């Protein structure tokens, strides 16, 4: 079987890379295509995966529309040229391209449809399968809606797929047990981010100064950094970020994805943006498992107070490991599920 993976975002590479590696080992052919966004191409190079860049990520609704048109056409061309049987991705383009070739399109999404309105409006009606975590089962997209008890992040950070490497600590002048913090800032310019606010410059400065009182701070950012943050910018290959995150004390920022990644690694994650309370996945992590904490931008004082509360805990790591045990009693390895699902569909 020939499989095309269309990458819109760096996290989507992590979602599929383990499953696709195993499928290639079974004799299937995998074609990677991507838009040039953030560190996606750098990650593809780090993992030594062959790929083709189809478009460069654009800003602004009109430019994004034209990028989509071009991306659709190029995905279709690659699907026809490579005789593709299945296209996968958190991707609008695969659903459009599949209408004009023999391939099926499987869309993977873990954001609520009401929050990713444009993406779901443009892709869900045309997709062969809509594959989501089971906390979105209530959306009821018909017979093509398939659910599973996991997250995208558990395709690469489930204990079956990830063991943290302590060598990263030595590379950064740290040792196990040292207190240090990851701050993650995002650009919030995706199609579903219009009107969304994250941390203000002043809030970032306040957080940085507070955290520096307790340990080292490493900042990773999609957006340009103000000059006073530059000394704390994390300088290392991006594929090592999860090793560093796994040993960190706290993860703080306005990113959704890294908050989820920190949570499933057993690291308390605090995020501040106007998505708080709107996304089912993070509401589950906040309210059911207590692994993450969300604050809207106007509630900065509550965020600072929660940091103080967490840092006052005698055994923060131990407390989070207990929470994580409960979490993993409910969740499965996403990669293992995906491989079994593909196998079952191939037999039909």
pLDDT by residue, tens only, the chain of 348 residues: 999 999 988 999 999 999 999 999 999 999 999 998 888 999 999 999 999 999 988 777 788 889 999 999 999 999 999 999 999 999 999 999 999 999 999 999 999 999 888 899 999 999 999 999 999 999 989 999 999 999 999 999 999 999 999 999 999 999 989 999 999 998 754 444 444 577 889 999 999 999 999 999 999 998 788 899 999 999 999 999 999 999 999 999 998 999 999 999 999 999 998 888 889 999 999 999 999 999 999 998 999 999 999 999 999 999 999 999 999 999 999 999 999 999 999 887
- Considering the domain architecture, whether residues 171 and 281 belong to the same structural domain is answered as yes
- Considering the domain architecture, whether residues 146 and 190 belong to the same structural domain is answered as no
- Considering the domain architecture, whether residues 176 and 258 belong to the same structural domain is answered as yes
DSSP 8-class letter at 211: H
Handedness of CA 91, 73, 188, 275 (dihedral sign): negative
Q: What is the pLDDT of residue 103?
A: 97
**Residue in 114, 111, 117, 109 with CA at minimum distance from that of residue 145:** 109
Q: Give 33-76 pLDDT, tens digit per residue.
A: 999 888 899 999 999 999 999 998 877 778 888 999 999 999 99
- Considering the domain architecture, whether residues 187 and 233 belong to the same structural domain is answered as yes
- Considering the domain architecture, whether residues 322 and 180 belong to the same structural domain is answered as yes
* SS3 call for 27: coil
Q: What is the pLDDT of residue 275?
A: 83
The C-alpha atoms of residue 296 and residue 23 are separated, in whole angstroms, by 42
- Considering the domain architecture, whether residues 293 and 339 belong to the same structural domain is answered as no
Tally of domains within the chain: 2
- Considering the domain architecture, whether residues 95 and 153 belong to the same structural domain is answered as yes
Parent domain of 239: 167-330
Edge to edge, what strands does the sheet with 129-133 contain?
51-56, 29-36, 2-7, 86-89, 104-108, 129-133, 145-148
- Considering the domain architecture, whether residues 192 and 302 belong to the same structural domain is answered as yes
Give, in order, the Cα–Cα distances in Å from 242 to each of 15, 39, 154, 162, 328: 14, 14, 12, 9, 18
Q: What is the pLDDT of residue 223?
A: 77
- Considering the domain architecture, whether residues 205 and 315 belong to the same structural domain is answered as yes
What CATH number does residue 315 fall under? 3.40.50.2000
Q: Are 225 and 219 in contact (CB under 8 A)?
A: yes
Torsion from C-alpha of 141, 142, 143, 146, nearest 10 degrees: 20
Edge to edge, what strands does the sheet with 250-253 contain?
216-221, 180-185, 250-253, 269-272, 292-295
Structure-block tokens of residue 295: 């604050």
Q: What is the pLDDT of residue 189?
A: 46
Instruction: Give the CA count within 13 Å in the CB-facing half-sphere of 10.
Output: 17
- Considering the domain architecture, whether residues 187 and 291 belong to the same structural domain is answered as yes
């Amino acid at each position: 079987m020939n499989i095309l993976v269309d990458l819109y975002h760096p996290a989507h590479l992590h979602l599929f890379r383990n499953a696709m590696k195993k499928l290639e080992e079974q004799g299937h052919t995998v074609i990677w295509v991507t838009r040039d966004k953030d560190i996606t191409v750098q990650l593809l190079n780090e993992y030594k995966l062959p790929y083709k860049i189809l478009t460069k990520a654009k800003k602004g609704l009109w430019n994004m529309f034209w990028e989509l048109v071009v991306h659709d056409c190029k995905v279709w061309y690659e699907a026809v040229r490579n005789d593709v049987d299945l296209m996968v991705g958190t991707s609008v383009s695969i659903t459009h391209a599949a209408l004009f070739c023999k391939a099926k399109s499987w869309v993977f999404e873990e954001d609520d449809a009401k929050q990713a309105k444009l993406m779901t409006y443009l892709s869900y009606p045309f997709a062969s399968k809509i594959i989501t975590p089971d906390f979105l089962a209530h959306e009821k997209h018909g017979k093509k809606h398939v659910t599973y008890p996991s997250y995208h992040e558990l395709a690469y950070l489930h204990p079956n797929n990830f063991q943290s490497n302590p060598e990263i600590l030595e590379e950064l002048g740290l040792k196990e047990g040292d207190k240090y913090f990851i701050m993650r800032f995002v650009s919030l310019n995706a199609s579903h981010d219009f009107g969304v606010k994250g941390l203000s410059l002043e809030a970032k400065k306040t957080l940085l100064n507070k955290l520096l009182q307790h340990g080292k701070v490493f900042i990773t950012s999609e957006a340009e950094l103000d000059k006073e943050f530059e000394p704390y910018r994390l300088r290392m290959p991006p594929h090592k970020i999860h090793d560093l995150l796994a040993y960190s004390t706290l993860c703080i920022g306005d990113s959704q994805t890294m908050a989820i990644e920190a949570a499933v690694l057993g690291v308390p994650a605090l995020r501040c943006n106007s998505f708080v309370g709107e996304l089912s996945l993070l509401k589950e992590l906040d309210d059911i498992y207590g692994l993450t904490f969300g604050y809207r931008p106007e509630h900065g004082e509550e965020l600072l107070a929660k940091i103080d509360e967490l840092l006052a805990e005698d055994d923060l790591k131990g407390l989070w490991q207990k929470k994580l045990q409960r979490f993993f009693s409910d969740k499965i390895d996403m990669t293992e599920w995906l491989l079994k699902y593909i196998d079952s569909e191939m037999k039909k």
